[in-house]
Structure 1
Amino acid sequence: MRESAVQRHDRLLTLVREQGTARVTELADRLGVSPVTVRRDVETLTRKGLVDRAHGSVSWPRPRTAGAAGVGTAPVFGLLAPSATYYFADVIHGAHEAAARAGARLILRISDYRPEEDRARAEGLLAAGAEGLLIAPGWRGRADQAEHGDWIGELPVPAVLLERSVDPGSPLAGLDRVCSDHAHGVLLALRHLTGQGHAAPLLVARADSPTALAVRAGYDQALRALGLERPHPVIDAPADRDPAGFERGVQSLWTAVTSGRATAALVHNDVDAIQLVQRLAELGVRVPGDLAVVAYDDEVAALADTPLTAVAPPKREVGRLAAELLLERWGRSVRGRPADRAAGGAEPAARRHLALLPRLRVRASCGAAAPELLEEGRAQG
């Protein structure tokens, strides 16, 4: 299966980060693409501030020293993310914009979804001068939090969790965090589909990321809220990492549609949804004629042959609000008023768990007459 630009960007960033500096020709050889493609990718990543480009080479951005003009008095924050592309690109942009407005500098480190390396990455940010951290751990499954997460609660600087919920009773439960309410997003999708006359929609979702697991949990909650029975086991069809598993998922969904047991499906994520729709078309299943589809993420859903209705988590707002919250915590610490200590007899500032509501962007894949944006409080039919 052909590699997407998002996947290629992640591989390029990993190579540059590991080597520090690499020539375009070397990257083209390592990635198995043409130098023209690499130059185009580098231009995109340079505009996003993720790499530095000069004279045929690409470098990982280096933190400025305290003596650099205008930097000595500005706070420096670190952001640890599992990826700099696809979903997390907007989260990073939102955090960067908020930090820049406040005159702060943001340093980025990428974990590539390797939770065992998160701590070392965070220590690298601290060594580079970070006075506060925004952290989206590279957890992939349920066990990663317990195995690779406790260190976050021991950090010597203020920290805010990004797009990550934690288990009740976890040492991280008392940390500030900002995330999307994925259960609400799933409910919006199912309510819209059932409002159009469909029976309980099927769920197609992988199980290798916190968002995917949250979508799976939200699916069961939404079914209960709507008084529906689960119509079919969740279908796992990861197009990028398991082609055989993807094909099994396609066949399972094809059987459910052609037997009349399913007329609607929610698919996480956009890329899987687009490839799923393409494969179903080869098997004679039409979207939306035979199957109404809602994608989850809304990164590239609108670019499908039949534009996909999609749940859109507020990714940029998550990054912005998390950075603003970190700025507030940092400000208290430098004024001698840490958030966990009373100031002059005043109550300590309460920690915050902010859950932002996704939106539903309605497009052609559900048979909608015209595009519209659905949110809480609006009619869902």
Structure 2
Amino acid sequence: MRYTVDERHERIVELVREHGSLRVADLAHHLGISAVTARRDVEALAASGRLDRVRGAVHWPGTPAPQGRPPQPIPEMPPTAAEPEAPLIGMVVPQSKHYSGEIIRGAREAVAAAGGRLVLGYSGYRPEQDAPQVERMLESGVHGLLLTPSWASGTGGSESTGADFAVPAVLVERRGEVGTRVAGLDHVCTDHAGGAGLAVRHLIELGHRKIALVAGESPTAVQVRIGYEAALRAFGVSGPPVEPIALYGGDIDMARIDAAAEQLAALAAERKVSAAVVLSDTDAILLLQSLRSRAPRLRVPEDLALVAYDDDVAALSDLPLTAVAPPKYEVGATAAELLLQRVRERATGAAPGARRHLDLLPELRVRASCGESMGKTLNKDLIDHSAH
């Protein structure tokens, strides 16, 4: 039988009143819920004063706790396996728009396919909200957590940061700092450095060596810059022709777009830059529009080739943009499937498999903004790095 949280609490109170003292494990078995959920229910009832909590058991207020022997099992419960709970998965993300939207959709559909339900919490990119959102999820009785903490660089956690949530947890588009306890969590990420490398390689193969990077402030931008600079070195280019051209973080800032367009047009006119990788595709479209109004003699792609990083709307530009497409849906679905596996392992008592650090490589979708024929797609791979 399935219970709502309130129904479950009332049933627990009824059973404890009837028997005086009961083991939490027996309550979980009788109600067909996980031990973690039973412990949280008992703790909530104890906090409200309805029951008294003792180690491993619960008893009716005013009833002495059993001395020298554990409480007896619930008599009417035969020793058969309880009906497994449908998985309830909590997901804490900075927001649900733009990049996160497809990740959430992938996770939601993977959880639904397993007969479960996904619930969301939002941090709003405020680090101080990460822990309260996680706590709220745990209090609601989730069986596992998908976490995208508000780490500015995309990598975080310290030795003092807890990684034991009492339920399985998987980081999504975030990596734990090497050497910390958080680094021992599973994670599923886009290989943004590899995606930037695809863009640079493509431009190099077209003959460009003076390639600029135009990007705002975000965890993705940190990884894109690492890949951009590494790819230039791999092709024997000593370094970027100019320092990355800064955009903005957060909401669109047209003043910064226009300033970047003016700087890029001047660099192209002086032949210091012949191509640019722009994060994101929305910014790339706005940059192209600004270039046309501020430097009408500058031709794209003849004088300046453009590759957008992200592919939500790149194909909808009047000059369709070549773009790196992160596998956002697959990241969400893969993270959810990995978490569901961990939840099953815990529920059945199976030995957990090796922790997994999964990097999914983006695709490069070639269109008109670099001067090539349309329809070409490069590199759809899954890189699986298993942590042992």
The bucket for the TM-score relative to the shorter chain is 0.7 to 0.9
The letter of the residue matching 2:135 is E
Q: Given the alignment, which residue of 240, 259, 266 partners 1:255? A: 266
Q: Given the alignment, which residue of 154, 157, 177 partners 1:167? A: 177
Residues 124, 268 of structure 1: CA spacing in aligned structure 2 closer, same or farther, 3 A cutoff? same
Q: Given the alignment, which residue of 282, 292, 295 partners 2:305? A: 292
1:23 equivalent in structure 2: none
Q: Does 1:219 align with 2:228?
A: yes
Q: Does 1:128 align with 2:132?
A: no
Q: Given the alignment, which residue of 301, 308, 312 partners 2:321? A: 308
Q: Given the alignment, which residue of 354, 361, 376 partners 2:365? A: 361
TM-score when normalising by structure 2: 0.72
Output aligned runs, 1:40-189, within 5 Å. Answer: 65=5, 73-141=85-153, 145-146=156-157, 151=161, 153-189=163-199
1:271 equivalent in structure 2: 282
Q: Tell me if structure 2 keeps the 8 A contact 1:364–1:371.
A: no
SS in 2 for 1:178: strand
CA distance in 2, matches of 1:67, 1:359: 49
- Which sections of structure 2, spanning at least 5 residues, go unmatched? 9-32, 34-83, 382-388
CA distance in 2, matches of 1:252, 1:116: 37
SS in 1 for 2:308: strand
Q: Does 1:202 align with 2:212?
A: yes
TM-score when normalising by structure 1: 0.74
Q: Tell me if structure 1 keeps the 8 A contact 2:123–2:150.
A: yes
Residues 66, 228 of structure 1: CA spacing in aligned structure 2 closer, same or farther, 3 A cutoff? farther
What is the root-mean-square deviation of aligned Cα atoms in Å? 2.4
Q: Tell me if structure 1 keeps the 8 A contact 2:192–2:224.
A: yes
Q: Does 1:336 align with 2:387?
A: no
The letter of the residue matching 2:362 is P
CA distance in 2, matches of 1:236, 1:316: 28
Q: CA deviation at 1:354?
A: 0.5
1:228 equivalent in structure 2: 237
The letter of the residue matching 1:310 is A
Deviations 1:245-270 (A, max 9, x none): 43332222111111111111000111
Q: Tell me if structure 1 keeps the 8 A contact 2:148–2:171.
A: yes
The letter of the residue matching 1:336 is G
SS in 2 for 1:84: coil
Q: Tell me if structure 2 keeps the 8 A contact 1:77–1:133.
A: yes
Q: Tell me if structure 1 keeps the 8 A contact 2:366–2:373.
A: no
Larger Cα Rg: Structure 1 or Structure 2? 2
SS in 2 for 1:153: coil
1:323 equivalent in structure 2: 336
Q: Tell me if structure 2 keeps the 8 A contact 1:119–1:151.
A: no
Of all paired residues, the percent bearing the same amino acid is 47
Deviations 1:2-47 (A, max 9, x none): xxxxxxxxxxxxxxxxxxxxxxxxxxxxxxxxxxxxxxxxxxxxxx
Deviations 1:122-178 (A, max 9, x none): 111112221100001122247x8347x954513111000001123222321111000
Residues 317, 67 of structure 1: CA spacing in aligned structure 2 closer, same or farther, 3 A cutoff? farther
The letter of the residue matching 1:353 is H
CA distance in 1, matches of 2:277, 2:320: 14
Matched positions, count: 301
Residues 120, 338 of structure 1: CA spacing in aligned structure 2 closer, same or farther, 3 A cutoff? farther
Q: CA deviation at 1:192?
A: 0.8
Q: CA deviation at 1:73?
A: 2.4
The letter of the residue matching 1:297 is D
Q: Tell me if structure 2 keeps the 8 A contact 1:238–1:272.
A: no
| 4+ residue runs over 6 A deviation | none
CA distance in 2, matches of 1:86, 1:322: 19
Q: CA deviation at 1:374?
A: 1.2
SS in 2 for 1:364: coil
